[in-house]
Structure 1
């Protein structure tokens, strides 16, 4: 009788224990030589600072050993770098060349990884490559009630200052700091949309267009997400910013001359913008879009919607974060086909298994995407 009661108590206790959906990840850092500054981790999650170079500190064990530990949802892909508080001083190889992003997939069990850092970038040389090609103008501290003020960069086509009677289509973009100017890009590599568009125009393959790229803010996740703030952000682009651009610049303001583009969460918000304002946008370029990520699934939100008159370009890579995003991209493709979209007609889907989740790889796919919308 005693044994039966004991067994019952054990089974009862076990059934009441909530199974954790989280695991612990520990990163152990070994330095080649001591540093006299604080070391930080910067990465693709909020607890990694959302790529801020000086938000999340590592714990110092001794002069050569540092550590970082966090509880992480299972099956989360972490992408991260280490800095000394500024992107000018980031982890590098023995020659001072910046290391590529580290990646860790936190699966079903606790993870502990040891990482060696041989050197740091010196900060003496610019970390960026390239330059702005063509003429740009800025709207600084663009204000919309309820949103954080942000800068807007506007790229003007070659003939804009020469032909005062000509009007131009407009491409709106997110993460504007990463699109045109490598000096403001988060990792020193921009989308190079200015170089790409200039080359295509010179080859007579693309109409001359105006590019309007809105910088992100510290509120990026809410701005680009399926949130109330996100709805306000999308409205601010489609109405407030568009009205200002159409008033100040010689644009072709009609839907057939207006598109929107972005990557990652910027790819998600590009889709949502076009889907919610199909009378404003011809369509959207969605690169490595975060349609479905961890517990978030935007595809379920549009299942009851009918087909919209839009041109949609969706792509994804095959490495790093894009591996996690792939199921959502495939699910969105199936959903759009159910609604009546046709591949290579009003829906274009591209998979590049060799590509990473990076500005450099998006830049390589951008020429094909932009020509779908504004081919000459």
Structure 2
């Protein structure tokens, strides 16, 4: 009789494979969003050597033509961007609606939108990794002990956002630039997200300032977890931003926040981030922070104000 000895690492590998299959099953179960205008194509289960495979939805405007060149806006939480009938909470950013209106009004440059789906590792992938590891070990261990509602660790064994950004920059962006008619330079490459997606957008422009020319960080989740009491995370994020914020020449950064639900926590931290921006030489030409009193932490709120960051980042050269 042959016995197989399963080590801790073997079980860890099997669990990873199982999670991958579960994630792929959930992704395949969700239909392709219906666009109000333009069209949406899906790159199903985009493979990566850095992160779990995931769907990527690409929105193309009406009249998309290989004879033209387009800026690219990469957005996180891709399954929540276009069609509320396909999302878990029946809300969506309605990106296609807003982009079509702004394009028709010539308030933004020609652009395609790449919606990158999140996975069950969302918090780990979106949590700025270098800021986390700048904390003392005792603080890191406290953060790693924080559980989700179900009891599992919120950050697992730690953030993996460096690999998430490698996936975007080294795998996804080259694919998009080779399969679509894009302007691949920094001036025409943007990134946007909300909540944890706001954090990873901030992190992306700091880590890859030669790749991303602009970042929109809506309802940036500065607390990192869900408390402001004895929480060292916001300070670590602000310190990271101070040390790694790219030059205002060639970069644009947008922040905003509401006043209800989770957004009610953000203002004090955003004011500290604003001071960093000012001290780094950013002004109204390349930085905008907006407060939206009454807005809560939801896709409905982000959809309502999405035109503001889009017009700021994607301003046509003639405007």
Q: Which has the higher contact order (CA 8 A, sep 6+)?
A: 2
Residue 365 of structure 1: aligned partner: 305
**Aligned runs of 1:78-97 on 2, under 5 Å?**
none
Q: Which stretch of the first structure deviates more once superposed, 300-309 or 311-320?
A: 300-309
Say if 2:148 is the partner of 1:207: no
Query: Which structure features the higher share of strand residues?
Result: 1
Query: 1:207 offset after TM fit, Å?
Result: 2.0
Q: Give the one of 78, 86, 109 matched to 1:184.
A: 86
Q: Is the 8 A contact 1:263 1:288 kept in 2?
A: yes
Residue 290 of structure 2: aligned partner: 350
| Unaligned ranges ≥5, structure 2 | 1-32, 130-158
Residue 54 of structure 1: aligned partner: none
C-alpha distance in 2 between matches for 1:147 and 1:155: 23
Say if 2:234 is the partner of 1:330: no
Q: Give the one of 218, 221, 229 matched to 2:160.
A: 229
Q: Is the 8 A contact 1:292 1:329 kept in 2?
A: no
C-alpha distance in 1 between matches for 2:239 and 2:217: 18
C-alpha distance in 2 between matches for 1:140 and 1:328: 37
Cα pair distance change 1:273/1:287, threshold 3 Å: same
Residue 46 of structure 2: aligned partner: 142
Tell me the alpha carbon deviations over residues 26-69 of structure 1, each in whole angstroms, 9 at most, x when there is no partner: xxxxxxxxxxxxxxxxxxxxxxxxxxxxxxxxxxxxxxxxxxxx
Q: Secondary structure at the match of 1:349?
A: strand
Say if 2:35 is the partner of 1:132: yes
C-alpha distance in 2 between matches for 1:307 and 1:258: 15
Tell me the alpha carbon deviations over residues 310-329 of structure 1, each in whole angstroms, 9 at most, x when there is no partner: 20010000111001122221
| Unaligned ranges ≥5, structure 1 | 1-129
Query: Which structure features the higher share of helix residues?
Result: 2
Query: 1:306 offset after TM fit, Å?
Result: 5.8
Q: Is the 8 A contact 2:51 2:167 kept in 1?
A: no
Report the TM-score, using the length of structure 1 for normalisation: 0.62
Q: Secondary structure at the match of 1:140?
A: strand
Q: Give the one of 231, 256, 269 matched to 2:187.
A: 256
Instruction: Find the structure with the greater CA-based Rg.
Output: 1
